Amino acid sequence: MNPEQAATHMASNIALAAAQEQAKGQMVEDPQKDLGPMPNLWVAMRVLNVCTTIVLAGSVVDKLQRIDFFGKFNIVILAVYIFLFATILCCFEVFGQFKSVAEVMAGNFGFLYTASGRVGFMLMAAMIVVSLQTNFSFIVCGILVLTAGFNVFCFYRYPAWAAKIAKLHGAFFE
């Protein structure tokens, strides 16, 4: 194993250990226990996340329609990143119900199953969308911050649901 592979392997082990430790702290009940139907606030959080991704992608389209592409390549790069962030969050919420997609998402984006990981991801997207510097992008930034706050509320209001979904999708491997 060359040094680069060793460093990558070590970094992934550290990230996995941190995610497992945080998951243990959030697990209040047995995730295999039947918790009944999904709470209405959890459903509202998921719908709000999907709507937020649509607005986030809309801010990209809005900015790209207003610029001249020659000499503005940095804006195009930012727009691509923002669109990818929106796609990741949308796939996480919409296609996470399919086992094959959920396992891929959990393997690559397992941090989205934790409150701090999801908030960090949404706040990072909010900071990047502000760099588009349009009125709409500032509004989208505010929406992202409010949505991140609602996500934190739901994660701490329903820790058993957060743990159950993470366990079902295979986000935290014991």
Alpha-carbon distance of 48 to 90, in angstroms, equals 10
Site of tokens 């998921």: 46
The stretch 154-164 carries a mean pLDDT of 85
Per-residue pLDDT reduced to its tens digit, 70-89 = 777 888 889 899 999 998 88
Give residue 126's pLDDT band: very low, low, confident or very high (50, 70, 90): very high
Average pLDDT of the chain is 79
Q: Where are the domains of the chain?
A: 47-169
The stretch 143-153 carries a mean pLDDT of 94
Mean pLDDT is lowest, of 110-124, 141-155, 156-170, for 156-170
- Note the pLDDT of residue 28: 43
- Note the pLDDT of residue 57: 93
Task: Give yes or no for residue 116 having a pLDDT over 70.
Answer: yes
- Note the pLDDT of residue 171: 60
52 in the Ramachandran plot: left (φ > 0), alpha (ψ -120 to 50) or beta?
A: alpha
CB 89 within 8 A of CB 113: no
C-alpha 164, offset from chain centre: 17
The stretch 107-129 carries a mean pLDDT of 88
Give residue 153's pLDDT band: very low, low, confident or very high (50, 70, 90): very high
- Note the pLDDT of residue 18: 53
- Note the pLDDT of residue 31: 45
Rg of the chain over Cα atoms, rounded to whole angstroms, equals 18
The stretch 110-132 carries a mean pLDDT of 89
- Note the pLDDT of residue 48: 93
H-type alpha helices, the chain = 3-26, 40-66, 73-94, 99-109, 115-130, 135-157, 159-169
Is the model's pTM score more than 0.85? no
The stretch 91-117 carries a mean pLDDT of 80
* Nearest alpha carbon to residue 24 among 170, 174, 141: 174
